[in-house]
Structure 1
Amino acid sequence: MSASAAAETSAATHEPSSAPTSPVKGRPDLVRVAARVVDLHKVYGKGEAEVRALDGVSIDIARGEFTAIMGPSGSGKSTMMHCAAGLDGVTSGEVYIGDVDITRLKDKALTTLRRDRIGFVFQSFNLIPTLNAQENILLPLAIAGRKPDPAWFDTVIDTVGLRDRLSHRPSELSGGQQQRVACARALVSRPEIVFADEPTGNLDSTSGAEVLGFLRRSVDEFDQTIVMVTHDPVAAAHTDRVVFLADGHVVDEMREPTAEKILERMKRLDVRVRPDSAGA
């Protein structure tokens, strides 16, 4: 490895920062954040075509918690997640994974950090059709040249209930089973944080409940940290905390959410932003 590559890899895991720690409301034992965005701005286009998808967003994501990001269409929730996960660049602001400001990393170091410290679950599953379930689950580790921890692999497989489907390809699995494969793939490398973008969006209610139950269990039993973008109040009700965005701003949050309370809050947000967002 060259000196420059080694320096980048080191930066991805050891770069110091001034990102402070903070206690989680109601849980003073949790004093560190898994991820943080600070005064985050994301602008697309210029001049009359300019769109401010994010306009000064600041959010702390606590370790060991399940957080939902919600908001009306065009509120910036998916953009925020993509920036926080290092999948999209920022116009200005800071994005931390642990104590690393990923906006300062070069491409190679950012790729290494995403591979080693972040898990992803997407609405479209993103499975490789020519690989079976087990091969899809282990693909990120294979790319990284790492072997799975056998005990942890068995724990993940049994938790998602796919032991008898590991030899099946995606086309031989239901939508819910495919998404559980995607969830297992996100967790098998034991990432510091998992970002899930509408993970139940393509699933029926039964399959969606299975996936949400697995995500909830991974937080409660394995101390996983999960951030989920969703438009579904029922899905968000599985989380510990809901953060609401509107027009690129954080406008509210809720702890101990229920579907009814979330739906009422979303209705108020939708009415509030509709007059200013008709063309968004």
Structure 2
Amino acid sequence: MTTAVTIPRHGGTGGRTAVAARARQVVKAYGSGEARVVALDSVDVDIARGQFTAIMGPSGSGKSTLMHCLAGLDTVTSGEIYLDETEITRLKDKKLTQLRRDRIGFIFQAFNLLPTLSALENITLPMDIAGRKADAEWLRRVVDTVGLSERLRHRPNQLSGGQQQRVAVARALAARPEIIFGDEPTGNLDSRAGAEVLGFLRTSVDELGQTIVMVTHDPVAASYADRVLYLADGRIVDEMERPTADAVLDRMKDFDARGRTS
């Protein structure tokens, strides 16, 4: 399935191609012979720049595998992955590590904050490691966007779970990556804190022009996205533009019903 790219509803394209990342005929398989398991089965997909894309599907559908391959965290068995115009599937380890550091942001369920550092130090840590100086104006804008201005000197144990995840979001945004990948980024948060973080992700797309790809199983979380991709058995089987929580839930029920009757 080849997914057409539409003009982004939010954010901007920065004057470049409207595609931030794309997969072409991507296969990811584990094992061999009778034990071979195909996690991704000839996937074609375009991720639009300046949009918030959610990836959904039942357990084992390949959604996390697709995100990890798009982000260069996992290798593909065959096919091609591009970040903008750079094919990342043929990059050597050193070049791939540099690309992930310089051009991609990550937000995971586990906040992955260093307990001995302040919120601000955690936010700037990846740039400090890379020997890059933070853009002061951009950093201030990011901190304001995620509502952390009054908490920058606090260490993680002095912050709530929602605030810690906001620090993780700010850390991903601060380096101005081309694209941010989130793997169930609100999975460890209660509904109120999760809604706060999702709101900040939505704002980062609308006001900062960010591109975000998020794996989630939660229809409410998916409703913050511009577009939802549905995976089943390693293939993209459907997509939804401008989703609502109810519409996502109904679509998921349809898939469950099909699965029971197939």
* Pairs within 5 Å for 1:151-162: 151-162=137-148
CA distances 1:110-139 after superposition (whole Å, capped 9, x unpaired): 011101100000011111122221111001
Report the Cα offset of residue 187 of structure 1: 0.4
Conserved 8 A contact 1:54-1:248 = yes
Where does residue 205 of structure 2 map in the other structure? 219
Mapped to 1, the partners of 2:40 and 2:107 lie a distance apart of 22
CA distances 1:123-166 after superposition (whole Å, capped 9, x unpaired): 11111122221111001101110010000111111111111211
Q: Aligned AA for 1:247?
A: D
C-alpha change, 1:193 and 1:123, in structure 2 (3 Å) is same
Where does residue 47 of structure 2 map in the other structure? 61
* Pairs within 5 Å for 1:1-12: none
Where does residue 132 of structure 1 map in the other structure? 118
Where does residue 24 of structure 1 map in the other structure? 6
**1:120 and 2:109 matched:** no
SS of residue paired to 1:165: coil
TM-score, normalised relative to structure 2: 0.93
Mapped to 2, the partners of 1:73 and 1:25 lie a distance apart of 31
Report the Cα offset of residue 26 of structure 1: 7.6
Structure with the largest fraction of helix: 1
Report the Cα offset of residue 25 of structure 1: 5.3
* Pairs within 5 Å for 1:33-48: 33-48=19-34
Q: Aligned AA for 1:83?
A: C
Conserved 8 A contact 1:137-1:182 = yes
Mapped to 1, the partners of 2:60 and 2:8 lie a distance apart of 32
**1:195 and 2:181 matched:** yes
Where does residue 102 of structure 1 map in the other structure? 88
Conserved 8 A contact 1:38-1:94 = yes
Report the Cα offset of residue 179 of structure 1: 0.5
TM-score, normalised relative to structure 1: 0.87
Where does residue 36 of structure 2 map in the other structure? 50
Mapped to 1, the partners of 2:97 and 2:79 lie a distance apart of 20
Mapped to 2, the partners of 1:269 and 1:245 lie a distance apart of 10
Count of matched residue positions in the alignment of Structure 1 and Structure 2: 254
Q: Aligned AA for 1:210?
A: E
Where does residue 240 of structure 1 map in the other structure? 226
Where does residue 154 of structure 2 map in the other structure? 168
Report the Cα offset of residue 45 of structure 1: 1.7
Report the Cα offset of residue 23 of structure 1: 4.9
Mapped to 1, the partners of 2:187 and 2:8 lie a distance apart of 31
C-alpha change, 1:55 and 1:115, in structure 2 (3 Å) is same
Conserved 8 A contact 1:196-1:226 = yes
SS of residue paired to 2:89: helix
